Amino acid sequence: MERNLKKRDLSLVNAKLNTLGFLVDEAVVQDFDALYDFSGALGLLPKDVKVFSFLEVKKKIPSLRQNQINNKDFNWKGDIHNAAAIEFLETSFDVLVGVYNGSHEFLDLMVSESKAKFKVGCLDCDARLFDLVLQVPANNIRTLERELKKYVTVLNKI
């Protein structure tokens, strides 16, 4: 994770908001439709919003969800073995929002590897990973939407 922080390109951090990504802990939020609804408040089309989730599992079980990763998709060195997750992280979102509270070893690693231009975290997250930290619990979707809109407006992203 430290090497990812050092090699991050900050030159596009002020880009306008045209694409929005969410990295979500399914233990905290399960209603992804509410996240897709952010598009209207931020002047985006629903196709410009992508959600990728993490679900901790004890055994390797198949999932019908395509945009999901679990702890079994990481090796001991922190390498990700999930093609959909790698594709999501390679996407250069204008804004990426980490929808989880506090420190989360897997999601923190994913945020650090993301090619997103501007990263937003929630309550008690690792501030080194994010350009903006909202003091909002991740499960409070309406407040998260309101605060995100307020700050991207102030930062002249919309």
Structure tokens at 61: 């079980």
Q: What is the mean pLDDT of residues 53-64?
A: 73
Q: What is the mean pLDDT of residues 144-157?
A: 88
Classify strands 20-25 and 49-54 as parallel, antiparallel or unpaired.
parallel
pTM of this structure: 0.87
| pLDDT at site 85 | 92
- In the chain, the N- to C-terminal Cα span, in Å, equals 30
Q: State how far the Cα of 66 lies from the Cα of 84, in Å rounded to an integer.
A: 7
- Please tell me the total count of domains within the chain: 1
Residue 31 has pLDDT above 90, yes or no: no
Q: State how far the Cα of 72 lies from the Cα of 58, in Å rounded to an integer.
A: 8
The backbone torsions φ and ψ at residue 57, rounded to the nearest 5 degrees and listed phi first, read -130, 150
Q: What percent of the chain has pLDDT over 90?
A: 48
- Mean pLDDT (the chain) is 86
What letter represents residue 84's amino acid?
A
CATH number at residue 81: 3.40.50
Are 88 and 127 within 8 A, CB to CB?
no
> Which helix (DSSP H) or strand (DSSP E) does residue 39 occupy?
helix 38-41
| pLDDT at site 37 | 87
Q: What is the mean pLDDT of residues 115-136?
A: 91
Residue span of the structural domain in which 73 resides: 2-154
Classify strands 49-54 and 68-69 as parallel, antiparallel or unpaired.
parallel
